């Protein structure tokens, strides 16, 4: 007998979806997304435990590795690439693998997700080490490509975190920290780019953002370790420095220009009334924590 996954089971809520007008159709689709939030809220303790387990490896210089296929793979890539501009996380320490390779970001590579051996090879190609953390992402919870990556990661001693939208599945069983995002049946049957994907995006956001906060890349609730790599981000760096240090725009710009637009350094400079090199030394002595650097007498 065919075992149908929850995410593949036809929804009973809107069996005549194709008869709806646009207003009712959009309303139904938006309303169904609420389940994604509920699933992530239920998984919050598991996400927090994964953050705590990953933290010492990141402090020691480990990498975040991601593996997924289709929507799940693309969400892993998205999370990885956004860590650099948002938190100045080194790009080489956030490595995302997607079944079918880079081309699969833009064009579906059919069948790539079914290749468990390729998942293992792709993970081995980035030379995983015991200090690394792998996030294996699969809506079904049984994607062979992800299982291959998890097997290679385990063999290398990596911490394995699995995200899946179906309970009791192989990806969760193969993980040190399984994160179940139980979103149930999709409104459009089997289309896990809908609320299953939404839940994955929220969970990845929560995990990586919480990890970056714990790594002292946030002061209060301000992202003070961003990279000011374009005009918009330069303006944002100025605004963040003004808010964190309580200074005017001219003072913020002057401090930022003296420290290569490092918001962290500028804030310590302004609040401690010290030059850039001394502010930087204070930050380095306190693992990059603005709060601890400011507390030093």
Name the pTM for this structure: 0.93
Alpha-carbon distances, residue 161 vs 101, 115, 128, 225 (angstroms): 21, 20, 14, 26
| Residue pointed to by tokens 């924590």 | 289
Q: Quick check: 232 pLDDT over 50?
A: yes
At 32-74, the pLDDT tens digits run 999 999 999 999 999 999 999 999 999 999 999 999 999 999 9
**pLDDT band for position 2 (cuts 50, 70, 90):** very low
Sorted by where each begins, the domain ranges of the chain are 6-214, 231-295
Judge whether 113 counts as a catalytic residue. Answer: yes
**pLDDT band for position 1 (cuts 50, 70, 90):** very low
Tell me the CATH number for domain 6-214. Answer: 3.40.50.10490
How far does CA 180 lie from the centroid of its chain?
16
pLDDT of residue 19: 95
Query: What is the rounded CA–CA span in Å between residue 259 and residue 66?
Result: 33
Candidate CATH numbers 1.10.8.1080, 3.40.50.970, 3.50.30.10, 3.10.20.880; the one for domain 231-295? 1.10.8.1080
Residues 8, 31, 38, 82: which is the catalytic one? Answer: 82
**pLDDT band for position 133 (cuts 50, 70, 90):** very high
Mean pLDDT, rounded, for 199-205? 98
Residues 113, 116, 124, 257: which is the catalytic one? Answer: 113
């Amino acid at each position: 007998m065919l075992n149908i996954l929850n995410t593949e089971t036809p929804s009973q809520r809107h069996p005549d979806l194709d008869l709806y007008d646009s207003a009712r159709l959009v309303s139904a689709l938006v309303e169904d997304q609420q389940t994604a939030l509920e699933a992530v809220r239920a998984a919050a303790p598991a996400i927090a435990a994964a953050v705590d387990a990953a933290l010492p490896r990141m402090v020691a210089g480990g990498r975040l590795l991601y593996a997924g296929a289709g929507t799940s793979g693309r969400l892993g890539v998205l999370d990885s690439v956004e860590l650099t501009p948002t938190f100045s996380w080194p790009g080489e320490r956030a490595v995302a693998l997607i079944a079918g390779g880079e081309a699969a970001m833009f064009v579906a590579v059919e069948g790539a997700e079914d290749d468990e051996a390729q998942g293992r090879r792709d993970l081995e190609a980035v030379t995983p080490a015991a200090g690394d953390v792998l996030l294996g992402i699969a809506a079904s919870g049984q994607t062979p490509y992800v299982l291959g990556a998890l097997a290679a990661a385990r063999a290398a001693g990596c911490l394995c975190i699995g995200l899946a939208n179906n309970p009791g599945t192989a990806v969760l069983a193969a993980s040190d920290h399984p994160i179940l995002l139980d979103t149930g049946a999709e409104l459009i049957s089997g289309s896990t780019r809908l609320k299953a994907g939404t839940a994955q995006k929220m969970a990845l956001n929560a995990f990586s953002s919480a990890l970056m906060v714990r790594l002292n890349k946030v002061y209060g609730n301000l992202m003070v370790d961003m990279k000011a790599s374009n005009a918009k981000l330069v303006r944002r760096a100025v605004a963040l420095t003004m808010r964190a240090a309580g200074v005017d725009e001219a003072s913020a710009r002057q401090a930022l220009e003296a420290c290569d637009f490092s918001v962290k350094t500028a804030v310590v400079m302004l609040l401690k009334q010290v030059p850039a090199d001394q502010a930087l030394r204070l930050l380095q002595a306190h693992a990059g924590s603005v709060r601890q650097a400011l507390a030093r007498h």
